[in-house]
Amino acid sequence: MFFPCSSSTSSANYDPMIPISATNNITTDDHHMGMGSSQVYNYFDGRDRSSNGLLGLRSSAENLVGREVLINKDHHQYLQQQYSDLTTTARNKNKGEKKTRKPKYAFQTRSQVDILDDGYRWRKYGQKAVKNNKFPRSYYRCTYQGCNVKKQVQRLTKDEGIVVTTYEGMHTHPIEKPSDNFEHILNQMQIYTPF
């Protein structure tokens, strides 16, 4: 396996045996997340996270450095859909209509880069230091006109290899995916590269 971007000489953690399609396997097993897996939380409030992690996304392909971006993009889009399906019912039993917290969902991904290309365009509007964390948390807003979906990205001190992304709101517009960026080209090349 060789792709031009072998600049990531740390091919030590490269595992060519994992098919990329494995990233779309969602299980409900929310315990014992392996270190190489992503997990998804569902909560309606920053503090009161509904304890039952609804989804455990099992992806063993995290360490494929070259494919990281594409994998994460799949995670974002797929999980966002999953979340909307799951919360439509959960949101209805929220009695006090006035204080309805905006639903959020978060998941963490093992990645070297903080900025994960999920296909949407974001504008950063803030950055704050987080307590007990040496990495700051960044706040982004979707730049699509009229769409005020927000997300925040944060790296854990505990495990610097993990990036936690929290989404708030749902996009009501198509994805703006640039088809000519480097990652796209790179992934296109990988598709045709035999293992």
Binding site for DNA (CB under 7 A): 46, 121-131, 137, 139-140, 143, 150, 152
Q: Are 24 and 57 in contact (CB under 8 A)?
A: no
Q: At CA 184, angle to CA 180 and CA 188, rounded to 5? A: 115
10 or 127: CB nearest DNA: 127
Distance CA 114, CA 49 (A): 23
63 or 150: CB nearest DNA: 150
Provide, rounded to whole angstroms, the least separation between the CB of residue 86 and DNA: 21
Return the bridge partners of 56, or none: 27, 39
Provide, rounded to whole angstroms, the least separation between the CB of residue 45 and DNA: 9
127 or 172: CB nearest DNA: 127
Q: Which among 25, 19, 49 is positioned nearest to 37, based on CA atoms?
A: 25
Provide, rounded to whole angstroms, the least separation between the CB of residue 143 and DNA: 5
19 or 46: CB nearest DNA: 46
Provide, rounded to whole angstroms, the least separation between the CB of residue 126 and DNA: 3
Classify burial at 70, counting beta carbons within 10 Å of its beta carbon; exposed 0-12, middle 13-18, buried 19 or more.
buried
Provide, rounded to whole angstroms, the least separation between the CB of residue 189 and DNA: 25
How many Cα atoms sit within 13 Å of 181 on the Cβ side? 10
Q: Which two tokens stand for residue 27?
A: 């299980």
86 or 130: CB nearest DNA: 130
